[in-house]
């Protein structure tokens, strides 16, 4: 009887499927110039990752944060910024900012933003202080990047996303998760909201153009369904000076060289001329890109194709003339770029 | 067997005499429903005993032989030389082995597990008594082909995934009535009390031909308990790790022909268990926070039976659940403070008209009102905390006519339903369903020793939902009796099934897609089951399966960046299930072992060069193994359960891996009768070896837990 049972159990458990070993990733070679691509990863899966494209060798290294630091970045890599030899990576759904040295990608520390904050974008006041928008905390929080600690919390409008500093002031895009229509303006010395500026529906991203104006991308609301537009704001007078109709819903754009702004609208990348403040043409068509970045030295445009949002995305690099120069695969849902020059 | 005859000479001369009787279990005295009763040699009609064990047949001429067959019992032959007056009682002797259980979910007619055309599991209440589980998911997870997705412990949502299909492909029924949500397509197994369950039937493979939408991977039918014949009062209380407390009271009896029962149960706990948080080489011990729960279950039932005329039951249940829903853990600051609130009221009435002849009419009507709230103070929209509210109403009418003869049974039924949703996140919607189904069973005795019998199970169903194309779902099923000793059956079924889009998929704002079509699947199930009496009773079952799902609905961002569902994918799930049981003749020792191997792959390309093409679907284990053993030495009973779940891929590219895990639980139960009261004490340990594990990525599960329950019935 015992023998029979042992035989039965052996048959059932024989060849129990074993865990395969994790895929191996080799650390990248050091280089002096390159592009960081932050891959957002799937929401709730903790698989945000960092890729690096070396401009000299053309070599692409994926998962460089894990390779050097032996831990995951976290859940939803939302934005990346380089300042003073360090890259600051805002990991949205893990409520933290990962800081790495750009020389070796080694972790220089973590700024814990606290549960429920949902940090999104970052802007530097100076080499020590930065400001972080917090989507669900309706705030901008001052962080000290030397001590890796939090400072003042500044209440702003609903669900802030983009943030930029111009004309000695801070401009914050209050998205309201689709229902917002304003920018909060913070005076820098006081660090408190002094004014609210009405723009379009769902202000999402905000950048300073080379002519000093602010380009405010309003993604359009969902209910009712309104189209995306760019509002152009003069930061000194805090007035809307023009707007550009885009259509669809748009969440990312990048300021390029030679007075160009690149905006992925549906399946084409349109070019807005900062002189005429009108769409002058398109860089490329056929793919709905999720992210866009511009190398302000070469003027090359980096476009992030998220494929079906569950597998490695592809970066397509275009010259300002609209000729594709290269493309390479990165991590899941590439969305943000930072240029190390 | 003991048969009582009440003779009445005055009726002797009449022809086409009606014979009435009552069938009960010789061991338990409980009524035996679904026994086939017929008069031999076409000398009268045939019928099945009704849900209270009563039957009516008519006899043409005396003397005659009445035959009573039930797969779970030894057959009885009753010779009647003259008419009997009044009712007579038949006590059937149970067959002393497993696989004798009669299931109705596989065919909508009673059939023994051995004769089923598709893979079936049966979980009796006695298994729940001996189980360390406190959730339905933990119990179901031990059956072949089943993987239960757990997002935490008692407070968390649990969903069933059968044969490598997704959770919206497992149709959950309670007493044959749909429980799965119309809004999400999912039945939350965390919202059940284990106290009110009589038994559960799990049928694997596509069953839309019997149950309509959603039955792509399989069907779980939870059958609630009936009122007791005599007055029974029960009470129990439990306490366990992390603040677990449970209290239950029940009262049941029969008054003036009405069976009645009522029960109330409360479960609460903190679920603030410690867990190992691993990130690369970093390991931190964290504590789960914000996962407390407070659950209330209230059930009531009235049964009415009048021999041969009408049987009826009315059940009402109310569930109130307040659960913390802290979400994924990606670091010390990633735990949220969200709460999930569920209030579900359900009423079901079933009427049965036996009619005396081979026909029985049934009418089932049910109404459910399910309200859910999701409140997350950490997610604010326009400065206001996220507070989603959904309200679902579902009204169902299901008239059905059953015909039963000695070698042929048939069902024909209609189903009408009105489902509606009102929600802060969806466009309000009402959806009507009109369905018709016909199915039959044919038993054919073969003129050979091997094989000796063939059972055919054809069925077809047509469903029409508002705004959707009509769907025809056929199934052909076959069961062949190969050998009588050892009893061996071969079975085969092929079915087309479908899933109508959920309210979320159609009407979510923004992104819902009202132009979605149903998902469709083709499933094949072939199996061999056997029973051998040699040094105890052995049973063995092996199944191979294949489920090919097309037009799968997948959410992805549209060109404007809004997440929206589309019918774009297809998947193929194939596998092997093995199960063996052994028990000695006296059932002092009994053991069960099963193992399932599943290969579920994505078979569609989203675009040329799609790297997720032909990859394994995430969260589906390649193998699961369950081994359980019970020793019963009155008044003690000890059960141990050891479960192994292999690694799962956590992504569509098959690059990230969720490690496999193995869990062991032990239960010791001590039962004692004191002054007429049946009392028991149960001590249970789960995750005995204190393993750190996750069933779904980033949802940590508890380490070792202890629970003690005392209770009794009077």
Instruction: Read off the pLDDT of residues B346-403 as tens digits, 9 standing for 90 and up.
Output: 999 999 998 777 899 999 999 999 999 999 988 877 778 889 999 999 999 999 999 9
Q: Which position has the higher pLDDT, A209 or B104?
A: A209
Separation of alpha carbons B134 and B111, rounded Å = 30
For B521, the token pair is 């699947």
- Phi and psi for B180 in degrees, rounded to 5? -55, 145
- A282-286, B503-507, B555-559: range with lowest mean pLDDT: B555-559
Q: How far is B654 from chain A (nearest CA, A)?
A: 10
Q: For residue B225, how many other CB atoms are within 10 A of its CB?
A: 17
For B167, the token pair is 């959770």
For residue A86, pLDDT over 80 is answered with yes
Residue in B328, B611, B646 nearest the CB of A75: B328
Please report, to the nearest 10 degrees, the dihedral formed by the alpha carbons of residues B645, B651, B656, B662 taken in order. Answer: -10
pLDDT confidence bin for B333, thresholds 50/70/90: low
Nearest Cα neighbor of A104 from A50, A40, A23 is A50
| Contact predicate B605/B169, CB 8 Å | no
A 144-163 → B contacts, CB under 8 A:
158-159
Arithmetic mean of pLDDT, B184-208:
94
| Contact predicate B401/B171, CB 8 Å | no
**Contact check, Cβ <8 Å, B330/A72:** yes
Question: How many residue pairs bridge chain A and chain B with CB atoms within 8 Å of each other?
Answer: 177
Arithmetic mean of pLDDT, A54-60:
93
For residue A29, pLDDT over 60 is answered with no
B629 interface with A at CB cutoff 8 Å? no
Interface test with B, best of A16, A229, A291 (most B CBs within 10 A): A16
B 554-573 → A contacts, CB under 8 A:
556-557, 559-562
Residue in B281, B611, B650 nearest the CB of A45: B650
**In which element (H, E) is residue B681 found?**
strand B677-686
Arithmetic mean of pLDDT, A103-122:
93
Q: For residue B632, how many other CB atoms are within 10 A of its CB?
A: 19
Query: In sequence order, which residues have a C-beta less than 8 Å from that of residue B216 and are 6 or more positions away?
Result: B165, B169, B206, B208, B497, B498, B499, B519, B521, B523, B547, B549
| Contact predicate B169/B573, CB 8 Å | no
Helix, strand, coil percentages for chain B (3-state, nearest 5): 5, 60, 35
Q: Please name the residue ranges forming H helices in B163-279.
A: 208-211
A316 interface with B at CB cutoff 8 Å? no
Q: How far is A186 from chain B (nearest CA, A)?
A: 18
For A221, name the nearest residue in chain B, comparing CA atoms only.
B510
A175 interface with B at CB cutoff 8 Å? no
For residue A282, pLDDT over 80 is answered with yes
Please write the tens of the pLDDT for every residue from B80-125: 888 776 778 889 887 654 445 778 888 888 888 888 999 999 998 8
Residue in A5, A16, A72 nearest the CB of B279: A72
- Judge if the upstream peptide bond of residue A211 is cis by omega within 30 degrees of 0: no
Chain B residues whose CB is inside 8 A of the A75 CB are: 328, 330, 334, 698
Mean pLDDT of chain A: 90
For residue B293, pLDDT over 70 is answered with yes
Arithmetic mean of pLDDT, A119-124:
97
A 184-213 → B contacts, CB under 8 A:
none
Integer CA distances (angstroms), A242 to A87, A168, A228, in order = 34, 22, 14
B245 interface with A at CB cutoff 8 Å? no
Chain B residues whose CB is inside 8 A of the A217 CB are: none
For A88, the token pair is 């600051």
- Give Cα B668 to chain centroid, integer Å: 26
Nearest Cα neighbor of B101 from B207, B225, B201, B227 is B201
A314 interface with B at CB cutoff 8 Å? no
Separation of alpha carbons B413 and B391, rounded Å = 29
For residue B691, pLDDT over 70 is answered with yes
Query: In sequence order, which residues have a C-beta less than 8 Å from that of residue A175 and are 6 or more positions away?
Result: A135, A158, A159, A160, A161, A202, A203, A204, A219
Interface test with B, best of A1, A4, A19 (most B CBs within 10 A): A19
pLDDT confidence bin for A314, thresholds 50/70/90: very high
Burial of B465 (0-12, 13-18, 19+ CB in 10 A): buried
Query: In sequence order, which residues have a C-beta less than 8 Å from that of residue B675 and are 6 or more positions away?
Result: none
A286 interface with B at CB cutoff 8 Å? no
Separation of alpha carbons B24 and B54, rounded Å = 9
Q: Is the dihedral of CA A117, A123, A126, A128 positive or negative?
A: positive
**Contact check, Cβ <8 Å, B280/A266:** no
Percent residues over pLDDT 90 in chain B: 66
Separation of alpha carbons B491 and B113, rounded Å = 11
Give per-residue burial for A147-175: e unless 16+ CB within 10 Å, then b: eeebeebbebbbbbbbbbbbeebbbbbbb
CA angle B622, B627, B628 (to 5 degrees): 150
Query: In sequence order, which residues have a C-beta less than 8 Å from that of residue A163 and are 6 or more positions away?
Result: A121, A122, A123, A131, A132, A133, A140, A170, A171, A172, A173, A206
Secondary structure of residue A176 in the 3-state scheme:
helix
Please write the tens of the pLDDT for every residue from B592-606: 999 999 999 999 998
**Contact check, Cβ <8 Å, A267/B559:** yes
Query: In sequence order, which residues have a C-beta less than 8 Å from that of residue B523 and are 6 or more positions away?
Result: B205, B206, B216, B493, B494, B495, B497, B545, B546, B547, B548
Give per-residue burial for A13-41: e unless 16+ CB within 10 Å, then b: eeeebeeeeeeeeeebeebeebbbbbbbb
- pLDDT value of position B78: 86
Please report, to the nearest 10 degrees, the dihedral formed by the alpha carbons of residues A57, A62, A68, A70 taken in order. Answer: -170
Arithmetic mean of pLDDT, A254-280:
94
Q: Which position has the higher pLDDT, B137 or A26?
A: B137
Arithmetic mean of pLDDT, B640-664:
94
Arithmetic mean of pLDDT, B300-312:
83
Integer CA distances (angstroms), A182 to A156, A238, A240, A248, B578, in order = 10, 12, 11, 20, 62
For B618, the token pair is 């995430």
Instruction: Name the E strands within B140-257.
Output: 146-150, 158-162, 170-174, 177-178, 197-204, 218-224, 232-240, 244-255
Q: For residue B422, how many other CB atoms are within 10 A of its CB?
A: 15
B 308-337 → A contacts, CB under 8 A:
327-328, 330-337
Q: How far is A177 from chain B (nearest CA, A)?
A: 6
**Contact check, Cβ <8 Å, B559/A288:** yes
Burial of B16 (0-12, 13-18, 19+ CB in 10 A): exposed
Secondary structure of residue A226 in the 3-state scheme:
coil
For B714, the token pair is 């009077």
| Contact predicate B117/B491, CB 8 Å | yes
For B27, the token pair is 């061991």
DSSP per position, A79-105: EEEEETTEEEEEEGGGTEEEEEETTT-
Q: How far is A341 from chain B (nearest CA, A)?
A: 30
Integer CA distances (angstroms), B676 to A139, B371, B713, in order = 67, 43, 9
Secondary structure of residue B4 in the 3-state scheme:
coil
Whole-prediction pTM value?
0.84
DSSP H helix total and E strand total for chain A = 2, 28
Residue in B330, B557, B657 nearest the CB of A19: B657
Query: In sequence order, which residues have a C-beta less than 8 Å from that of residue B646 and are 6 or more positions away?
Result: A16, A17, A18, A19, B621, B622, B623, B624, B660
Separation of alpha carbons A134 and B380, rounded Å = 11
| Contact predicate A60/A19, CB 8 Å | no
Instruction: Name the E strands within B354-407.
Output: 359-381, 384-404
**In which element (H, E) is residue B543 found?**
strand B537-557
């Amino acid at each position: 009887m015992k023998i029979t049972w042992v035989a039965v159990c052996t048959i059932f458990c024989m060849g129990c499927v074993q865990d395969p070993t994790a895929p191996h990733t080799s650390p990248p070679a050091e280089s002096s110039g390159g592009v960081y691509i932050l891959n957002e990863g799937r929401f709730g899966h903790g698989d945000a990752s960092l890729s690096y494209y070396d401009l000299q060798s053309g070599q692409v290294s994926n998962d460089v944060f894990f390779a050097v630091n032996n831990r995951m970045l976290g859940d939803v890599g939302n934005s990346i910024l380089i300042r003073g030899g360090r890259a600051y990576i805002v990991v949205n759904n893990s409520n933290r900012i990962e800081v790495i040295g750009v020389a070796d990608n080694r972790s220089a520390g973590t700024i814990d933003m606290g549960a429920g904050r949902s940090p999104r974008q970052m802007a530097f006041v100076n080499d020590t202080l930065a400001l972080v928008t917090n989507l669900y905390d309706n705030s901008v929080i001052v962080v000290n990047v030397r001590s890796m600690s939090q400072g003042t919390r500044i209440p702003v409008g609903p669900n802030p996303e983009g943030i930029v500093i111009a004309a000695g002031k801070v401009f914050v895009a209050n998205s309201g998760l689709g229902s917002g229509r304003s920018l909060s303006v913070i005076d820098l010395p006081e660090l408190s909201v002094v004014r609210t500026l009405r723009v379009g529906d769902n202000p999402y991203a905000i950048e300073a153009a080379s002519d000093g104006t602010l380009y405010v991308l309003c993604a359009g609301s969902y209910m009712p369904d309104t189209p995306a537009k760019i509002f152009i704001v003069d930061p000194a007078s805090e007035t809307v000076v023009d707007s550009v109709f885009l259509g669809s819903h748009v969440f990312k754009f990048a300021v390029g060289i030679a007075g160009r702004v690149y905006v992925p609208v549906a399946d084409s990348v349109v070019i807005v001329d900062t002189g005429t403040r009108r769409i002058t043409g398109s860089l490329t068509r056929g793919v709905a890109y999720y992210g866009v970045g511009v190398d302000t030295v070469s003027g090359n445009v980096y476009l992030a194709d998220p494929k079906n949002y569950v597998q490695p995305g592809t970066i397509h690099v275009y010259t300002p003339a609209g000729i594709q120069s290269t493309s390479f695969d990165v991590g899941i849902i590439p969305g943000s770029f930072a240029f190390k020059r | 067997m003991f048969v009582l005859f009440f003779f009445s000479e005055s009726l002797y001369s009449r022809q086409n005499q009606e014979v009435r009787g009552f069938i009960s279990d010789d061991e338990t005295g409980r009524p035996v429903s679904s026994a086939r009763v017929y008069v031999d040699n076409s000398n009268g009609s045939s019928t099945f005993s009704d849900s209270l064990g009563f039957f009516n047949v008519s006899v043409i001429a005396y003397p005659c032989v009445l035959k009573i067959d039930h797969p779970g019992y030894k057959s009885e032959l009753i010779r009647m030389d003259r008419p009997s007056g009044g009712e007579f009682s038949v006590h059937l002797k149970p067959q002393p082995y497993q696989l004798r259980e009669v299931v109705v979910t596989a065919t909508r007619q009673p059939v023994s597990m051995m004769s089923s055309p598709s893979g079936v599991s049966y979980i009796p209440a006695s298994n729940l008594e001996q189980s360390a589980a406190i959730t339905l998911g933990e119990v179901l997870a031990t059956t072949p082909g089943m993987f239960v997705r757990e997002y935490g412990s008692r407070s968390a949502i649990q969903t069933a995934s059968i044969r490598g299909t997704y959770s919206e492909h497992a149709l959950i029924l309670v007493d044959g009535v749909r429980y799965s949500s119309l809004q999400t397509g999912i039945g939350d197994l965390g919202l059940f009390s284990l106290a009110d369950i009589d038994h559960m039937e799990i049928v694997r493979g596509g069953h839309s031909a019997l149950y309509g939408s959603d039955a792509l991977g399989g069907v779980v039918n939870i059958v609630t308990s009936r009122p007791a014949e005599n007055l029974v009062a029960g009470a129990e209380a439990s306490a366990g790790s992390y603040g677990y407390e449970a209290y239950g009271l029940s009262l049941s009896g029969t008054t003036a022909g009405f069976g009645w029962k009522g029960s109330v149960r409360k479960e609460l706990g903190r679920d603030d268990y410690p867990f190992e948080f691993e990130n690369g080489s970093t390991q931190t011990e964290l504590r789960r926070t914000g996962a407390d729960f407070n659950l209330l279950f209230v059930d009531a039932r009235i049964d009415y039976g009048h021999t041969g005329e009408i049987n009826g039951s009315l059940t009402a249940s109310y569930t109130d659940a307040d659960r913390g829903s802290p979400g994924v853990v990606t670091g010390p600051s990633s735990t949220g403070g969200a709460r999930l609130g569920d209030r579900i009221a359900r009423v079901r009435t079933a009427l049965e008209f036996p009619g005396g002849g081979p026909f029985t009419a049934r009418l089932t009507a049910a109404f459910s009102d399910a309200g859910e709230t999701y409140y997350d103070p950490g997610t604010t929209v326009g400065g206001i905390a996220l507070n989603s509210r959904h309200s679902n109403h579902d009204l169902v009418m299901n008239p059905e006519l059953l015909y039963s003869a000695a070698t042929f049974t048939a069902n024909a039924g209609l189903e009408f339903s009105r489902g509606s949703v009102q929600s802060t996140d969806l466009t309000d919607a009402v959806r009507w369903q009109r369905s018709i189904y016909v199915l039959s069973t044919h038993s054919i005795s073969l003129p050979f020793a091997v094989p000796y019998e063939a059972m055919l199970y054809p069925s077809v169903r047509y469903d029409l939902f508002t705004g959707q194309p009509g769907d025809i779902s056929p199934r052909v099923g076959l069961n062949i009796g190969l050998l009588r000793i050892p009893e061996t059956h071969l079975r085969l079924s092929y079915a087309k099934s479908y899933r109508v889009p959920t309210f979320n998929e159609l009407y979510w704002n923004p992104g819902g897609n009202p132009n979605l079509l149903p998902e469709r699947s083709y499933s094949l199930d072939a199996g061999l089951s056997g029973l051998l009496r040699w040094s105890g009773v052995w049973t063995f079952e092996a199944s191979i399966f294949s489920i090919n799902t097309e037009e799968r609905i997948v959410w992805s961002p549209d060109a404007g960046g809004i997440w929206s569902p589309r019918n774009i994918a297809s998947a193929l799930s194939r596998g092997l299930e093995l199960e063996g049981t052994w028990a000695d003749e006296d059932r002092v020792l009994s053991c069960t072992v099963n193992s399932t191997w599943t290969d579920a792959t994505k078979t569609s390309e989203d675009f040329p060069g799609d790297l997720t093409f032909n990859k394994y679907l995430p969260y589906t284990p390649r193998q699961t193994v369950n081994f359980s053993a019970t020793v019963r030495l009155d008044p003690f009973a000890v059960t141990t359960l050891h479960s192994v779940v292999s690694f799962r891929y956590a992504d569509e590219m098959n690059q990230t891996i969720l490690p496999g895990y193995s869990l062991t639980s032990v239960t010791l139960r001590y039962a004692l009768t004191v002054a007429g009261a049946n009392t028991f004490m149960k001590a249970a340990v789960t995750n005995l070896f204190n393993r750190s594990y996750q069933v779904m990525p980033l949802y940590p599960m508890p380490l070792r837990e202890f629970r003690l329950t005392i209770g009794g019935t009077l």
